[in-house]
Amino acid sequence: MWSHTRSLELLVLVATVAPAELIRVATAFGPAAKAGGADRGRAARRGLLGAPAAYLVVTAAAVAVAAGGGFVPDPLTGWRTGALWLPAAALVGAALVGAEFAVGAVPRLLDGTGRPRLAVHRDGGAVGGGYAAAVLATAAAEELLYRGLWIGVLHERLGLPVGVAVAAGAVAYAVGHLFFGGLAVVQKTLSGAVFGLLMVVSGSLAVPLVAHLAQNGVVFALAVRQERGARPAGGRVVAG
């Protein structure tokens, strides 16, 4: 029988922070990645598939534990929304790519190394259907975790102000991008806060989900363009 105390809620939240980071590190710096050739390619594919798989497994486990413990928050069950919210969310998600680029460009502008151009961080592997599926699956899992579960538990179960819950969920989501560097964490904190605000204002988890999918869709399109020959540096953004 589950304990009806706050310790279970907090344990579930802590367990969902950065579920894919160990997989990213292992595939990027493990023996296979250093070997080169076919082994390096296989390592890149494992990283490409492993990160979303980790998020999906952790999401399923967290929701199952929450359901068993009797504290599934309202945001996880609230999906209905007005027709205008979804196209508006898609526009916001696309605009967030530009916002993240602006944040990423600041250090390059400050150190005077030249005009930054848009580039995309990736886990590795070729850009294609697998990469598209990976970034979209990761977005869905992240919204369930960091907006649906985190904000719901912190606000409803633990009684924190909704602004604090949104901020905490945004930081937890951003830490999952630490593999890409501290600047990526700042960028994703911004996006996470916007996603959280979209959910709170609209009352539907579908709205930040659409925004997140749109953001990752734009990043995927940029990654395709980047792989086809234009490999700019500076102002990097990352899907996720």
| Predicted pLDDT at 220 | 87
Is 0.75 topped by the overall pTM? yes
Bigger pLDDT: 3 or 135? 135
Bigger pLDDT: 232 or 159? 159
Bigger pLDDT: 130 or 48? 130
| Predicted pLDDT at 6 | 64
Q: Is the pLDDT of residue 1 over 70?
A: no
* Tens-place pLDDT, residues 183-240: 999 999 999 999 999 999 999 999 999 999 999 999 888 888 877 765 555 556 666 6
Task: Assign 3-class secondary structure to the chain.
Answer: CCCCCHHHHHHHHHHCCCCCHHHHHHHHHCHHHHHCHHHHHHHHHHHHHHHHHHHHHHHHHHHHHHHHHCCCCHHHHCCCCCCCHHHHHHHHHHHHHHHHHHHHHHHHHHCCCCCCCCEEECCCCCCCHHHHHHHHHHHHHHHHHHHHHHHHHHHHHCCCCHHHHHHHHHHHHHHCCHHHCHHHHHHHHHHHHHHHHHHHHHCCCHHHHHHHHHHHHHHHHHHHHHHCCCCCCCCEEECC
pLDDT class of 97 with cuts at 50, 70, 90: very high
* Tens-place pLDDT, residues 134-158: 889 999 999 999 999 999 999 999 9
| Predicted pLDDT at 30 | 61
Bigger pLDDT: 45 or 154? 154
Q: Is the pLDDT of residue 22 over 70?
A: yes
